[in-house]
Chains A and B, each alone.
Chain A
Amino acid sequence: GQNIDQPTEMTATEGAIVQINCTYQTSGFNGLFWYQQHAGEAPTFLSYNVLDGLEEKGRFSSFLSRSKGYSYLLLKELQMKDSASYLCAVMDSNYQLIWGAGTKLIIKP
């Protein structure tokens, strides 16, 4: 079967760095996405990785290892507004997204 695993909840301090991990097992692989979702809103796109390595975009970076079925989202200089759920999703061989359950990130002052 297809499976995406990510921690249910994480807590971090304002100004710090946090890494959210995602492991996956899917039928085929056409890229991995990270989305941010604030409560009651639709997800917004953060990053897309299809090749191994680190993609940096401002305070957010995303890493992919296809051989390990592993990705992480790295958030630096955390701000209170970063409190949200972070969803990992993999595009399978049919170009459909398989979603993880999301990681709720709580930022404390």
Chain B
Amino acid sequence: GAVVSQHPSRVICKSGTSVKIECRSLDFQATTMFWYRQFPKKSLMLMATSNEGSKATYEQGVEKDKFLINHASLTLSTLTVTSAHPEDSSFYICSARSDRESNEQFFGPGTRLTVL
């Protein structure tokens, strides 16, 4: 089956620093990747949709200057949390939609970010 990886799986950083999270589709090309954020005991919240070679589309309320998304290739999207603050601590999950099965999203394992 299709595999999506995320790196790192866990990251702890100091307030004010920037953190980059990578999302890779390992065995398929993903024209579209999605970034979600999950708060404890709540559903996933879509942050942005990333299409290869174009600017990401952000959901309402998501600061695009704070959460920088780059989808440079058909297998890689990155999310950079700039000037992180403790309230940015969360579980960030990416998913990818393949060309072959466009109605299904394959999820990455998630990245737990803790900002001290």
Contact = CB atoms under 8 A, between A and B. Distances in A.
Interface residues of A, number: 21
A60 to B, nearest CB: 16
Contacts of B97: 95
Majority DSSP secondary structure for residues of A touching B: loop
Contact of B49 (A35, A40, A50, A96): A96
A87 interface: yes
Interface stretch (A15-23, A62-70, A72-80, A98-106): A98-106
27 contacts: A30-B103, A33-B104, A40-B91, A41-B109, A41-B110, A42-B110, A43-B44, A43-B93, A43-B107, A44-B107, A45-B104, A45-B107, A48-B103, A48-B104, A87-B43, A87-B44, A91-B103, A95-B97, A95-B103, A96-B34, A96-B49, A97-B34, A97-B46, A99-B43, A99-B44, A100-B43, A102-B43
